[in-house]
Structure 1
Amino acid sequence: MFDYVMELSGERDEIKINSIFQRVVDDLHSFLLIDPKIHQIKITLDNSSTITQSEIIHSVGVHKEQKDDKITIIIDMAYLTYIPLIILREAYILFIPTILKNYKSIHLVINNIIVANLSKFEFIHKWKALVAEKINTTYDSHYLPLYISIFDRLEKIFTFFEQDKESLSPIRFFFQHISKFDTLIQDTKE
């Protein structure tokens, strides 16, 4: 569904990046059958040291600035290789209810979704290793094997349904569920 995003790997043209990002958001809107929570988004690239190496998986390679209902996503140029994954992740994040934006469990699911969506991307294994490293430093080591086991299974489910276009999408179900029942969802305990 999002193979066209893979052409962005290493891309430096912000106009092209923003254009493809908007296409991804439009495609997600049609696929998920829900509206994004934020509509004014701009993506820029930055080579300066203002972007810190985040330990949070939903911020890998980016810094975000939000003012009112507009968000600027600043991608660290050191992560240009991973732009397809970052673009897809940031597009999915737009569909998360505000109350759930910082839930680690939600972002782990989104990471599994983007890995399934871009399973043919040449740098997917490096991305998975990068995210695994962030998980190892973020989560309580006591629960780490459980998290890894659960999210490995999720990745397999999403990958299976990515290939089976006739089935009801668990991705659509997930986003519609969190949109309708956001107040009932709790983050993982640590």
Structure 2
Amino acid sequence: MILDSHFLDLSPDNLQKRLDPLVSTLIDMITEFLELDVLVNKYTFLWTNLPAPREYKLESIFDYGVERSYIGNKVEVKIFRNHFEFFPFILLREIYYLFIPRKIRTYEWVQLTVNQMILTDLSNHDSLLEWSSLTRENVKIFDKISDGFERLEDYDRLRQFFKNPDLKRTSYKLFFKMLREDRQHLPKENDNIHIFFADNLNIEPEYYTDELIETIRCLTEIFHNKKTYRGMTEYIRLF
């Protein structure tokens, strides 16, 4: 699923007229690819001539270029004209967010994973390197301030899975399935979800049953987080 061609010949002047059909097309394609429906089914996307109301902050780089308004299960997304250079990346990010429970959309590992999906889906776009640099530099700076280490190299590894034609659909579906169907076992806000993918996506797609996904999750928790296992009693206590 390479989506660059859907953004050809767009300009700030014709975008408003083309925006609604483009959103519908992308949602239909992603729905078919994931075999999932959007969770937010009432949405409005607006292209505004106004500049962004304020400079984005380091902690909100994954909100870059937009202003969102929520009313119940309805969202209005304004995309600002002065960010046209990155419009495809911004729009695709916001569309993927429609498939993610709102409560966890701001988790860093969710945002970083979605960003890697966007980089893969728009891998031939002229502004790819600029978008990648924009997000990387802001995440690196924020990580140095908050955690003292960087996690981007591991998410770069994750992108390699997404670029693999044999693994891309499986990994996308696995990610969204976990977000939507296994929410009680989700990693915490700043955990490293890349471990889950990097350790386990060499399994053939047809073998990804619900039972296997849960087994992988438990093993990942034991070996990467708990780092100890003393028998069935401890397993039952943990899970």
The TM-score bracket by the shorter chain reads: 0.7 to 0.9
Aligned to 2:34: 32
Paired with 1:153 and 1:81, the residues of 2 have a C-alpha distance of 26
Determine if the alignment matches structure 1 residue 102 to structure 2 residue 103. Answer: no
Could you say which residue in structure 2 is the equivalent of 1:60? Answer: 64
| Alignment partner of 1:50 out of 48, 53, 65 | 53
CA contact (8 A) 2:52 2:66 kept: no
Retained in 2: the 8 A contact 1:66–1:72?
A: yes
Offset of 1:87 from its aligned partner? Answer: 1.2
Q: How far apart, CA to CA, are the structure 2 residues paired with 1:168 and 1:50?
A: 37
Residue matched to 2:159: 155
Give the Cα separation in 2 of the matches to 1:77 and 1:125.
Answer: 20
Unaligned residue ranges in structure 1 (runs of 5+): none
Aligned to 1:85: 89
Cα distance in 2 for partners of 1:169, 1:129 equals 27
- What's the counterpart of residue 170 of structure 1? 171
Q: Could you say if the C-alpha distance between residues 182 and 11 of structure 1 is closer, same or farther in structure 2, counting changes exceeding 3 Å?
A: farther
Q: For residues 9-37 of structure 1, what are the alpha-carbon distances to aligned partners after superposition, in whole Å with 9 as ceiling and x for unaligned?
A: 54442231121012111111111112211
User: 1:150–1:99: structure 2 CA closer, same or farther, 3 Å change rule?
Assistant: same
Number of the residue aligned with 1:41: 43
Higher normalized contact order (CA 8 Å, seq sep 6+, divided by chain length): 1
Task: Give identity over the alignment, percent.
Answer: 20
Equivalent pairs counted in the alignment come to: 184
Larger Rg: 2
Q: 1:142 aligns with which of 141, 148, 153?
A: 148
4+ residue segments displaced more than 3 Å: 8-12, 165-168
CA distance in 1, matches of 2:45, 2:116: 23
Q: Which amino acid aligns with 2:182?
A: F
Q: 1:151 to 1:8 in 2, by over 3 A?
A: farther
Decide whether aligned partners of structure 1 residues 152 and 23 sit closer, same or farther in structure 2, where only a CA change above 3 A counts: same
Change (3 A) 1:8 1:101: farther
